[in-house]
Amino acid sequence: MADTKRTDSDTPDASRISKLFDIRLIVGGLLTLYGVILTIKGFADSSAAIHKAAGIRLNLWTGIGMLVVGLLMLAWMKLRPLPPADPDDLVEEEGPRESRAS
């Protein structure tokens, strides 16, 4: 049986790949993006839109709230990164997969 241990040169940077798919990055980025859009829209609201919302600039306050939450998620990701993947936990399939015909 051949040695199945992987070396660093054999595997892609699993830590970098896992960070790419960190849910905090996706959610934080989207909330930040939508927060910026709503904040800009809130500054440009017409008086009719403000009157319709009982005198409150809803787009502005919602945008600021989304910005705060999105930036907090991005800061959380930066301050508490995912631990690197353990190479022993990575399973290498041996041989081709068999197709299951029903």
Predicted TM-score (pTM) of the model is: 0.64
Crossing angle for the helix pair 23-43 and 58-79, to the nearest 10 degrees: 150
CB atoms within 10 A of CB 81: 13
CA distance between the termini of the chain = 33
Q: Which mean pLDDT values do the consecutive 10-residue runs of the chain (102 residues) have?
A: 52 62 89 97 91 91 96 92 68 59 58
C-alpha distances out from residue 15 to 62, 77, 79, 82, 88, Å:
35, 14, 16, 8, 14
- Structural domain spans, the chain: 22-82
Are 31 and 70 in contact by the 8 Å Cβ rule? The answer is yes
pLDDT of residue 87: 67
Residue type, 49: A
